[in-house]
Amino acid sequence: MIAYIWRRLGILIIILFGSSFILYNLAAISGDPAEGLRGSTDPRAKQQLYALIRNLQLNVPPPARYFIWLKGILGGFTGHLDFGKTRDGHAVTLDLASAIPTTIRLIFMATVIAIILGITVGIVSALRQYSRFDYAMTFVAFLMFSLPIFWVAVLLKQYLAISFNNFLVNATISPGWILGSSLISGIFWAGVISGDRSKVWKIFGIAAVASATLSTILSLTKWFAHPGLGPIVLLALGIGVAFAVTLLSTGLQNKNALKASLAMPVFGLIFYYPVQKLFTSHPGFSLIGVMALVTITVAVATAIIFSKIDRGPIIRTTVITSVLVGFLALVDKLMRTWQPYMQTDAINNRPIPTSGQSNPLLGTDNFWFTSLDTLTHLFLPTIALTLISFAGYIRYSRGTLLDVLNQDYIRTARAKGLNERTVIMRHAFRNTLIPLTTIIVVDFAAIIGGAIITEHVFGWVGMGTLFNKAINGFDLNLLMGVFFITATLSVLANLVADLLYSALDPRIRVVSKS
Amino acid sequence: MIRKRKKVEVASTDSAEGAIANKETEGLSQGQIVTSRFLRHRGAMISIMVLSALILIVFTALDKKLGPIRIPGWWKYNTLDQPDLRVEGCPQGILGCPTLHVVPGFLGGKNFGIGAHPFGQDDIGRDYFALVMQGAQRSILVMVVIGMVAGFIGTVVGAVSGFYRGWIDAVLMRFTDFIITIPVIIIGSVIGFHFGNLGILFLALYLGLFTWTGLSRLVRGEFLTLREREFVDAARVAGASNRRIIFKHILPNAVGVIIVSITLTMSGAILLETALSYLGFGVVAPDVSLGLLISQYQDSFTTRPWLFWYPGILIIIIALSVNFIGDGLRDAFDPRQRRQMTKKVRQQSTTLLNREAKSE
């Protein structure tokens, strides 16, 4: 195993060496960064030219210059990593250090949402194979595959951001919207929970009426202008979460698990006001971290008290519930910050921005304001990226689950009398996750360099922007810096994916000799 | 290297269905089975019709020059014509709005009519329909060329490394890894930025040189499994040469995988081309492409949205139908996929089978 990893690493280094050499020379011969200065007769231009040549070692021919660059990179092993200088004369390392966190911030949430949504929808549509829901989701997935992201981005800016900001002036939902959204929700739920005709109609009716009532209430109370959950709604949602998590994780017949997870929303209610006080007195990420730790500890303790045997699944269920309830409490706090945030001068009642990564007019003293600001700036790019990438997860998880459901061990599980929940969640779902994990690892790496267009459209200054700048300005060191990061991540991710696959799936073994 | 234990072939769980499937395909060649399955895939058939109609319209609309010969197109304007901007019938202060109207008369519209400029005019009065047609021609051309180049290279590399294995495989696969490390959009931008002015065919050829990697891996996997099958052993014992085994025995069996991944590469290629053109590294003005049109007019979306809608919709139609055709082909070529049978058909077939079983 160790030998295998070493050999793979060795090959990776050779590959990286080769591809960086080729890209370097390709980019170097295709343009001269000093072209504009060479023709100029201005004496100052001459000085600039010399400075540029000195900075970028332009007097060395490209194949040799590559090795100067390589020496800087190899310096990373002795602690002096040097990506060279940009044509403005400052270190590429600094540019990269500021760009990478931005890109990760931009991408991370979208990827997580896309994975969760995509896998959920994919699994539901595999379980309802050849139903109308399945066909509809297949169509949606293909439509998403075919959308150019810059086109979606412009539409989102117009129809989501600007319209939503206009909507917030009144915060009342028109009857047409209420009707439309309740019809859609009825059709959606009827498709998800399929059955015979009368059941489908019943579900359709319930879902449509429920969503119509909900949106009417939201509209009448102008909820969107001053959103918030409050302790009672939080409790109700928490109980719903507890039931759902228990149903999926252990099944409702496990009374101990159900009781332990139902205790979580109750704790949430009891500690609602003290927690609100803490949120205002000690805002910051450290508070959220500490609270998360406390929540999980409480959850584990509760689960242990409630369970006598078979503790593992009960602890798991309770912890998942507690984290979700804690998340809801955080969302509640952010919602309560919404109205004061909107009324600040910097926002001026138009909260959803169409571009940029933060509002410079907003001060940095209020933690909740800056968090909301980050979230509203992430809103449009996240939706755009999610739309584009979740289609892949739908198709992939659907295909994998269908493959798994055809396996002999699923038939064995059914034959020995396990209920459908156990068969799906324990036997099928877990095995579906094996190939999905490897895809996810590779995707995360690819995404660091892959948001070039999204950054461009939404005006974020991340890796994509650096890359764009590098190409347009013939900035070779900057280009190679971006390339080096993305290429290294992508080859490493492939290696990690292979290793993960063999760790997760015992049928696949790593063989040390080729 | 990583070795997968040989998967046990999944036996048909429902013997009655299996029997029906066999009955359906009795006496048909593989090609006939695939064709009939494909013809039954509704999404793919609709897509084929839409795509071919679109290609026909797009490629005959404008005048074309083949050397000295000039083939007239059926559309009255060219991309270079600059008729006067339309004023009447447009909203206040907006020029060159589209004349296409589709709302039927009984709903208060003007029935279907295309008018002088169905897609409107751009800021200097050029007919937008002509521009979009020209852009779609470019995009389809790029898509096809990338598909052909990537398909050819991917198949050859995958087939050779899967068939010969050993050091040839190792070298070729490391070479593939090597191409994979360079993100396509980065290499595309570097090439497009510096050589974009060499013309669209050059761009497409170059992009094809970097988009074959996924395809070659799939083909390699297919060859690795197929070469272990009995019919290959049989052919070898009968004295067939490697060449004959590859072309006569393995390739026909791998053609499904190849065709499907080529279509998927093509639908990716059209998005790649539009993305590069959008960034300014693909097709450059004065040439026209759908991505370039969107990028040129995205700021005018609030005032003249048609400049933005039509190229985008065309991209979606093309990519969507190519995707659906690919899906149909995959279903048709995959022997494990059984056509979904409606309840009625299944009942009929089961009673038929029962009757036969009784009579036997």
Residue-wise pLDDT for A244-277, tens only, equals 999 888 888 888 888 888 989 898 888 888 888 8
A147 vs B3, B291, B316: nearest CB: B316
* Domain membership flag for residue B342: no
- Domain containing B171 — which CATH number? 1.10.3720.10
> Cβ contacts (< 8 Å) between A415 and chain B: which residues?
none
Pick the residue of A471, A482, A496 with the most B CBs within 10 A to test the interface with B by mutation.
A471
Tokens matching residue A363 = 């001060």
Q: Are strands B2-4 and B69-71 parallel, antiparallel or unpaired?
A: unpaired
* Domain membership flag for residue B159: yes
User: Residue A142 and residue B327: Cβ atoms within 8 Å?
Assistant: yes
Q: Which pTM value belongs to this model?
A: 0.82
User: Residue range B313-317: average pLDDT?
Assistant: 91
User: Residue B279 and residue A468: Cβ atoms within 8 Å?
Assistant: yes
Q: Quote the number of domains for chain B.
A: 1
Cα distances from A106 to residues A36, A110, A464, B28, B243, in angstroms, run: 35, 7, 11, 54, 51
The DSSP call for residue B127 is B
Residue position matching structure tokens 């988009």: B211
Residue of A nearest to B196 (CA): A30
C-beta neighbour count of B70 within 10 angstroms = 10
User: Residue A514 and residue B2: Cβ atoms within 8 Å?
Assistant: no
Distance in angstroms (rounded) separating the CA atoms of residues A133 and A139: 10
* Domain membership flag for residue B263: yes
pLDDT band of residue A344 (cuts 50, 70, 90) is: confident
Asked if B220 contacts B160 with a C-beta cutoff of 8 angstroms, the reply is no
Tokens matching residue A433 = 């996750």
* Domain membership flag for residue B235: yes
Residue position matching structure tokens 């210059």: A65
User: Residue B178 and residue A15: Cβ atoms within 8 Å?
Assistant: yes
C-beta neighbour count of B244 within 10 angstroms = 13
Considering chain B, what is the average pLDDT of its residues? 77
User: Residue B294 and residue A31: Cβ atoms within 8 Å?
Assistant: no
Distance in angstroms (rounded) separating the CA atoms of residues B239 and B253: 20
Distance in angstroms (rounded) separating the CA atoms of residues A34 and A218: 61
* Domain membership flag for residue B189: yes
pLDDT at A514 over 50: no
B323 vs A146, A154, A446: nearest CB: A146
* Domain membership flag for residue B117: no
User: Residue A19 and residue B178: Cβ atoms within 8 Å?
Assistant: yes
User: Hey, which residues 346-365 in chain A have their CB within 8 Å of chain B?
Assistant: none
Tokens matching residue A7 = 């050999």
**C-alpha dihedral (B146, B152, B154, B155), degrees to nearest 10:** 150
Considering chain A, what is the average pLDDT of its residues? 84
* Domain membership flag for residue B91: no
Supply the pLDDT for residue A324: 92
Tokens matching residue A484 = 């080096």
User: Residue A147 and residue B13: Cβ atoms within 8 Å?
Assistant: no
- A77-86, A441-450, B139-148 — which is least confidently predicted? A441-450
pLDDT at B53 over 90: yes
Sign of CA dihedral A306, A310, A315, A318: negative
Distance in angstroms (rounded) separating the CA atoms of residues A181 and A174: 11
Q: Sort A292 into a burial class: Cβ within 10 Å, 0-12 / 13-18 / 19+.
A: middle
Pick the residue of B6, B8, B169, B178 with the most A CBs within 10 A to test the interface with A by mutation.
B178
A158 vs B190, B295, B301: nearest CB: B301
Supply the pLDDT for residue A209: 92
pLDDT band of residue B5 (cuts 50, 70, 90) is: very low
* Domain membership flag for residue B357: no
Residue B244, domain extent? 39-76+132-333
Residue of B nearest to A32 (CA): B194
